[in-house]
Amino acid sequence: MSIYATLWRLKFPRYGDVHAGCEWIEVTAHIGSSTPGLGYEDGDPYAEFLPPALATDEDGDAEFMRAVVIITAETEKGTVRHPQEYSNPLLTLDGKQYASMTFDELHNRICDTLRGNRPRLILETLSPDGLHSLHFEDGTPRNS
C-alpha cells in the first residue's frame, strides 16, 4: 500500500516561465499519510525522506497531513533507500507549511524549481513583423 494519495494535478511551464510557445508539464501533489497504523508499528520507516510524523487522535486523524510531495511525471518512485521515496521531487513540504502558503507562493516555488539555475523571464515582445523576443533578468534576450 502506498503512503501517498494524489491531492491535485496541474500544468506548469516546463522551464518555470510562461510565454507564447512554451512547453507545459504536468505537476502532481501527493499527500503523505500521518496515520501511525500504516507501517509505524516498528518505528518510522519514512523518517529519512519525509517530515516528522504527526500525532493523531484515536481515529488516526491529524490537523495537517504529514507531507505534501510535489513531483512531475519524470520523477521516479522508489529509491535504493526506500521503495516509497520519490527521487528528485520538486518540493517536499510538511502539511502545515503547505496549508500556510498562498497558491501564489506555491506556484512561484514550483516555477523557481522548474527554472533551476536559468534566469527568470521578465519580458516577452512581439514586433509588427512577427519576431518574438524573450528577455531575461540577467539581460540576455532570445528570439523565438
Tens of pLDDT, residue by residue over 24-81, are 999 999 987 656 555 566 777 788 888 888 877 877 778 888 899 999 999 999 899 8
Note whether 29 and 69 are within 8 A (CB). Answer: yes
Residues whose CB falls within 8 Å of the CB of residue 14, separated by 6 or more in sequence, listed in order:
22, 23, 24, 25, 114
Q: CA angle at residue 46 from 83 to 100, to 5 degrees?
A: 120
Q: What is the pTM of this model?
A: 0.85
Tens of pLDDT, residue by residue over 16-36, are 999 998 999 999 999 876 565
Closest CA to 90 of 17, 12, 2: 12
Average pLDDT value over all residues in the chain: 88
Q: Give the pLDDT of residue 38.
A: 56
Mean pLDDT to the nearest integer, 103-130: 95
